[in-house]
Amino acid sequence: RSLAPCYLSLCFFNFLQFKLNWFKAAEYCRTQDMFLVSINDEQELNDAIDYVQSSGYFGKNSDLQLWTSGNDLGESGQFYWSTTGARITFDRFADNEPSNTKYQDGSTEDCVVLERSKGRNLTFDDRPCRREYHFLCENQANWFGAFQHCRTLDKHLVSIRNDEERRAVINFLDSTGYTKANKEFKLWISGNDLAEEGMFYWASTGERLTYQNWRSGEPNDYAHDRCTGEDCVILEYIDGAGRNYDYTFDDRPCIRQFPFICESIP
């Protein structure tokens, strides 16, 4: 059994201080085994901007136009995150945007930037996809994206079926320096109850999830809204928070984005 460190680095992001168009930015991120950034809520926005800030960019620049994975290339006016396939529901578009402005060269606005400029404070705007902007790659994905990408590497999203496998994952994280750099984290694992509510299985092996490593009160299928329950499993750790957050399981919405671990299964 071999754990792959593909998505365990000391930071979740990579801010590129050169410019590419949207298609080439997405392609470049994939060459780095990463994804063009998706921003689903205030926390993810703050995480992304904190990383850009840490790069020193704002020390030299006041304005920012940053490609995200958002686009309506499939159907005009229907914006999705290409990285996850999820609909854009985060209400962050600037006033009167998206506008799908048409230009004299025939181009339209189908790809989404995150913008900070005079009058715009970290808002979304649609722009022509062929324009060149800075961009941000991330090594997080929703559960489906994590599962799929492990398969493209001929590996599997990790399963943790007993104490021995849990310890192997902890040792792996320690060996990468990940736990020293991150005092709390959530990682996708292959457990889910997508087929039947309350019946959790390991997607990577097809086995029933029987290992009793759940956080107290979990799984609870908490309803985040009328459409979003919790059907996919994370491994969660918070330093100093006790046994309840000591590499324990919790169910979360499958569309949330977290880092993940791939493994080789003999």
pLDDT in tens, 176-228: 777 776 788 899 999 999 999 999 999 999 999 999 999 999 998 876 655 56
Pairing of strands 111-117, 64-71: antiparallel
- pLDDT: which is higher, 14 or 263: 263
Question: 3-state DSSP call for residue 25?
Answer: helix
Q: For residue 121, what are the β-bridge partners? A: 116
Residue 77's pLDDT is: 92
Location of each CATH 3.10.100.10 domain in the chain: 6-138, 143-263
Q: For residue 3, what are the β-bridge partners? A: 263
Residues with Cβ within 8 Å of residue 20, at least 6 apart in sequence: 28, 67, 132, 133, 135
| Token pair for 98 | 């998206």
pTM: 0.62
Q: Write the single-letter amino acid at 211.
A: Y
- CATH of range 143-263; options 3.10.100.10, 3.30.160.270, 3.40.1030.10, 3.40.50.11030: 3.10.100.10
Question: 3-state DSSP call for residue 93?
Answer: strand
Are 47 and 2 contacting, i.e. CB atoms less than 8 angstroms apart?
no
**pLDDT tens track for 25-48:** 999 988 877 788 999 888 888 888
Please return the burial class of 55, using the count of CB atoms within 10 Å of its CB with bins 0-12, 13-18 and 19+.
middle
Residues with Cβ within 8 Å of residue 48, at least 6 apart in sequence: 13, 37, 39, 114, 136, 138
Q: Which residues of 199-224 are buried (b: 16+ CB within 10 A; e: fewer)?
A: ebbbbbeeeebebebbbeebbeeeee
**What share of the chain has pLDDT > 90, as a percent?**
51
Q: Does position 82 have pLDDT exceeding 80, yes or no?
A: yes
> What span, in angstroms and rounded, lies between the C-alpha atoms of 80 and 2?
34
- pLDDT: which is higher, 132 or 174: 132
In the chain the beta strands, taken as DSSP E runs, fall at 2-4, 13-20, 35-36, 64-71, 80-81, 111-117, 120-127, 133-138, 156-157, 184-192, 201-202, 232-238, 246-252, 262-264
Please return the burial class of 242, using the count of CB atoms within 10 Å of its CB with bins 0-12, 13-18 and 19+.
exposed
Q: Does position 76 have pLDDT exceeding 70, yes or no?
A: yes
How would residue 6 be classed by pLDDT, with cut points 50, 70 and 90? very low
Q: Determine the average pLDDT of the residues in 5-17.
A: 51
Q: What is the mean pLDDT of the chain?
A: 86
**pLDDT tens track for 119-156:** 788 999 999 999 999 999 887 778 998 898 788 778 88
Are 214 and 248 contacting, i.e. CB atoms less than 8 angstroms apart?
yes
Residue 49's pLDDT is: 87
| Token pair for 247 | 């590499």
- CATH of range 6-138; options 3.10.100.10, 3.30.1150.10, 2.40.110.20, 1.25.40.10: 3.10.100.10
User: C-alpha angle 223/226/229, rounded to 5°?
Assistant: 35
Q: Which residues of 164-187 are buried (b: 16+ CB within 10 A; e: fewer)?
A: ebbebbbebbeeeebbeebeebbb
Cβ atoms within 10 Å, residue 57 = 15
